[in-house]
Structure 1
Amino acid sequence: MELYISMKAENINPTMFKHVTMDMPSPQNNGYFIAEYREAQEEKILILHQYSSILEKKLQKVGYFLVENFNNGIIVKKKVDESRDYMDEWEEWVEFSNALLEEFESFFDDI
């Protein structure tokens, strides 16, 4: 199983030059932390897809999370709390994402 962690947000002030090779950082809003859990084995993907709705219900109890299925696994998204320090929140997201990966790997090792 593989884990890909990222963050996606909408730019508030889009750049006026669309074809530049580098943009200056700009303010963003409506951000999500994203963790993609990717699996190669079809039977494990099916298990992840079946578990995704249960996982989303459990995560909704502790914050604003979305869980989506995709071809190779599941995507977990968490709304960025813009009132908190971004780096602190990012570090927590990385820890959470890795802990969830360990849980998935432990579960799949047992079956």
Structure 2
Amino acid sequence: ISAPLRCICAGLTASAAVIVLMAAAKKNRLSLPSARFLIHQPSGGVRGSVADVKIEADEILKIRRRINVLIAEQKGQPVEKVEEDTRRNYWMDAREALDYGLISKIVSSRKDLK
């Protein structure tokens, strides 16, 4: 059974929502012209012993690497570029997201979906 996923970004596609967007094949990642996108490194909070804090920090670093590799593969650029971009909040409008490789097309009406 084939059930292709199509994502149409409207409003804000930020943080973990960008990872959800990556679940669709690139040709099926679309955006309205007014959409905004945000990629950044993962964050978290933990309390406890030094050992517990280190365990959580190590896990966040692993997640960061996996996310950066995923985005790099999708956009066809070196992971080092994505690591640099996600060091801080990296905001994009629809055109910038298209150029970055997060989406394949900007759509304005139903006829653009064909």
Please report the TM-score for the alignment, with normalisation by the length of structure 1: 0.33
* Higher relative contact order, structure no. (Cα contacts within 8 Å, ≥ 6 residues apart): 2
Q: Which has the higher strand share?
A: 1
Please report the TM-score for the alignment, with normalisation by the length of structure 2: 0.32
